[in-house]
Amino acid sequence: MTTPRPAFATLGRETASTPFPARPSPMTLPHRTRLMLVTPELAETEAFAPVFAAALAAGDVAAVVVRLAAADDRTRIARAKPLIATAQEAGAAVLLAGDGVEDIIGKAGADGVHLVSSALLPDMVERFSPEKIVGFAAPRSRDAAMEAGEAGVDYLLIGLDGAEPWDAETTRDRTEWWAEIFEVPCAGFAATIDDVAAIAAAGAEFVALGDAVWRHVDGPAAGVAAAGAQITLGRAPTP
């Protein structure tokens, strides 16, 4: 497995543009697990902006995957820029996701791109690394995940590839397998707040959340706060 590039292997987690360093030592858990938020697919952002800001202010959010609906580049940039500014001011990196978003990463001011197609990985790594983050939604296949790591991605998101229904046990097991063996950081997707502790305990650098936050009964900010409490629970030493 290829070791991540030095920019991510040596810098700490506190800088928005570099939240994905290599794990200091496989088989140990010295890092703290942080949150990664995955937005709904956004066809407009004006109404979403206030709850987005509130969510970011409610906990330790390291990164946000902003999913943009199809539109012309100018429209997408206009939609993305306010969210990017809000997230970066809160200390979170912003990865854009959606067909063709790689063409607006620079103009929108995003920190990188989140991919769901392995076919794009080699070109995107060559195009953006090391200046920008390249992340990938890892498929269920272990071989495919390892190939993505070897391609030079900065992180893998496990459990949200869109190809199969989410499964708690599979996601936890795959996250634990990756965290124990490989240097490339990983995020494990939690479909509910109650799943967060198990993903954190599996050794993920990040727990990714979508509707569990955005559709939380008490609002997204409460969802982030609850997820943070679950991370603390999941990472607590076993008596």
Has residue 198 got a pLDDT over 80? yes
Structural domain boundaries in the chain: 34-234
Its pTM stands at: 0.87
| Cα–Cα distance, 146 to 46 (Å, whole number) | 39
* pLDDT band per the 50, 70, 90 thresholds, residue 10: very low
Query: What is the reported pLDDT for 118?
Result: 87
Task: Please report the sign of the dihedral spanned by the C-alpha atoms of residue 43, residue 48, residue 102, residue 117.
Answer: negative
Asked if the model's pLDDT at residue 7 lies above 60, the reply is no
Token pair, residue 140, equals: 């269920």
Q: Mean pLDDT for the chain?
A: 86
Whether a cis peptide bond, with omega within 30° of 0, leads into 40 is no
Banded model confidence at residue 164, pLDDT cuts 50, 70, 90: low
CA gap 134, 48 in Å, rounded? 25
Residue 50 has pLDDT above 60, yes or no: yes
* 185 vs 178: CA distance, rounded Å: 9
Task: Give the model's pLDDT for residue 162.
Answer: 61
User: Looking at the DSSP assignment, which residues form a beta bridge with residue 190?
Assistant: 209
Per-residue model confidence (pLDDT) at position 2: 37
Nearest to 92 by CA among 134, 129, 49, 59: 59
Structure tokens at 106: 């620079």
- Is the predicted pLDDT of residue 60 greater than 70, yes or no? yes
Does the pLDDT of residue 66 top 60, yes or no? yes
Residue-wise pLDDT tens digits, 103-123: 999 999 999 999 998 889 999
Q: Per CATH, is 34-234 categorized as 3.20.20.70?
A: yes
